[in-house]
Chains A and B, each alone.
Chain A
Amino acid sequence: MTEGRSLKINVPMLARVEGEGALDLEIDRGRLAAARLRIFEPPRFFEKLVEGRAAAEMPDLVARICGICPVAYQMSAVHALEAIGSVEPTGWVREMRRLLYCGEWIESHCLHIHLLAAPDFLGFPDAAKMARQYPEAVRRGLRLQHLGNEIIALLGGRSVHPVGTCIGGFHRAPPAAAVSALRGRLHDAVPLAEELVRWTASLALPHARQDFVSVALRHPSEYPLNEGRIVSSDGLDIAIGEYADHFAEQPVAWSTALYSLYHGRPYLVGPLARLNLNLDLLPPQVRRNLARTEVPMPSSNPYHSIVARAVEVHYALLEALRILDDYHLPESPRVATKTRAGVGYGCTEAPRGLLWQRWETDADGHVVGCRIVPPTSQNQARIEEDLRLSLEAAGLDSPAEALRSRAEAVIRNYDPCISCATHFLTLRIRRRGGPQRARPPEALSTAARSAEES
């Protein structure tokens, strides 16, 4: 091995974005000695704010934890709180909750694919510059995203911080006319979702093979959204109430966020993990469309996450149509609830991965405590592991700016809530030992800007 430079890079906390990211790199004689990622975790404050408040307030409150995935927080919370009171929602409520989640998956995944991730793979600094050469692709993505927002608004009253969800079901049932109109627009968009899968698969995605454990929900008969057992690619199969027996959060000296580890090691949650563990539960139409690409699934390449997201957009669109094809007005959009002292668990598949919650209430229905483990913090250790592998592969003697750009792209691939801005990461590099030698940065994307839009 050639003698490389050594330096230490320290990064202060970032502002200006939805969430904050910071990264410390230590490069010692050409090898990465340390890569420490800090992500700010809003739910940690939230867990204290809700103590003493009525459980019935929680659906509206938890929706404000995240502007991109409010439904996920609502769904995990209502399932946990309903478990405490032994509340059994109707089949209609169950289907509408799946529909609501489909809307969020479509909206969140499309935002990530088109505004955040694709520019990395096509060699553009931001989506606006990418859109000048790929206007059709971006318009398609925005149209799909808008449909996701429409689904959320149909049931939630609005697409940001929706207010339609309550413990036991929904405050109101959508009118049949609105359902019919939306159904027509969703139907017309199916070819767009199919094209999206093929487009993401055609991107010049880096070749990588990493060894990681995938963790997701698994349901006996459907691609997981709201229900299922927690399974892993190394054989775990547990009820959601047993989560804490296998996944431990621990503090680390360099981060305000807790790290989640599975049996002491990093793990992956999110679309790629879900697809790796539930490929057989996708409808044949979705599997056929995926098979036409050259992207193998299950995959150990983290950069295939963008394809996994596109596949889930396709699935969510078809699932939404299936539910709306059978739509009828219910006798009541919700069931009665009762307060009780107890503990309940909720675990659903947020767009970014497993969102696990534990809630405890008193006999009057007030929150005694809650614990919320979001997918971004669960992926934090995995992201650090990927950073280590990816930056070493890219070349640690690259200039600091090139390392920062590559690190941002690696992190953005996991779609954490901090990735709302093009340059969200403040990077400090400390190098020590060995000669200083800079080499040209290796581009993440091998696709030139002259690549034809497919």
Chain B
Amino acid sequence: MSAHGRSEALIPQRSARRESRKNGDVRIVGLGSPQGDDRAGWAALAELAAKPLPACLALRSCVTPATDLLAAMTGARKVVLVDAVAGDVAGAILRGDRSALAASRGALSCHGVALDTLLDLAEACRLLPPELAWVAVTIDPAATVGDTLSAPVAAAVPALARAALEEALR
């Protein structure tokens, strides 16, 4: 069963609302850089791109802080951010909303500009979507070199992708 089918079975009462959504109304935005495990968000997006997705759902990947993220969110009704976050044990899946982002100030970073700072900026510029959620995989900060994911993070990518899809369709 695809992740999409499983999500619908979990939240059947919301299927009517999903049908009324416009194309691209909900976006999953993968944050990352080319450096090692920092590309986990992109890997999750690639996982999702290989599956059939509802028309209301659009995938975006962001490379830079600030503008690319804000441009990716503009006009969406709901955005799910997918990223990597430093953690004690690599490969754990975390979820949260905007308040959780504020609480984790400093742990989630868009390459030198904290994610919650970017979202503060988006809110101030009235670019923040009405609904915002985030999912992340924990990584070892030292594993941000090279062009490939470490073993524990690579193993967690399918779960990260599923979490992102579940949040998007919730």
| Interface residue ranges, A against B (CB under 8 Å) | 16-18, 67, 107, 110-111, 115, 126-132, 135, 138-139, 142-143, 145-146, 149, 153, 158-161, 420-421
Tell me if A128 and B120 are in contact (CB < 8 A): yes
Residue B67, interface by CB 8 Å: yes
Residue among A67, A128, A130, A145 with the highest chain B CB neighbour number at 10 A: A128
Tell me if A149 and B124 are in contact (CB < 8 A): no
Contacts of B96 in A (CB 8 A): none
Contacts of A146 in B (CB 8 A): 67-68, 70-71
Contacts of B67 in A (CB 8 A): 107, 110-111, 142-143, 145-146, 149
Tell me if B124 and A135 are in contact (CB < 8 A): yes
Contacts of B64 in A (CB 8 A): 67, 107, 149, 159-160
CA distance A100 to B70 in the complex (A): 22
Contacts of A135 in B (CB 8 A): 124-126
Residue B138, interface by CB 8 Å: no
| Interchain residue pairs with CB less than 8 A apart (14) | A17-B112, A18-B111, A18-B112, A67-B112, A128-B123, A131-B124, A142-B67, A142-B125, A145-B67, A146-B71, A149-B64, A160-B64, A420-B112, A420-B113
Interface size on B, residues (CB 8 A): 21
Least CB separation from A422: chain B residue: B117
Type the 1/0 row for B122-144, where 1 means its CB is closer than 8 Å to any CB of A: 01111100000000000000000
Least CB separation from A145: chain B residue: B67
New A-B contacts (8) at CB < 8 Å, excluding given A17-B112, A153-B63, A161-B33: A107-B64, A115-B113, A126-B117, A128-B117, A135-B125, A142-B125, A145-B67, A146-B71
Smallest CB-CB A-B distances: 8 pairs: A131-B124, A128-B120, A146-B67, A18-B112, A160-B63, A145-B67, A132-B124, A420-B112
B40 to nearest A CB, angstroms? 16
Contacts of B127 in A (CB 8 A): 139
CA distance A416 to B64 in the complex (A): 18
* Total cross-chain contacts (CB, 8 A): 69
| Interface residue ranges, B against A (CB under 8 Å) | 33-34, 63-64, 66-68, 70-71, 106, 111-113, 117, 120-121, 123-127
A140 to nearest B CB, angstroms? 10
Tell me if B68 and A149 are in contact (CB < 8 A): yes
CA distance A368 to B121 in the complex (A): 46
Tell me if A138 and B125 are in contact (CB < 8 A): yes
CA distance A149 to B69 in the complex (A): 12
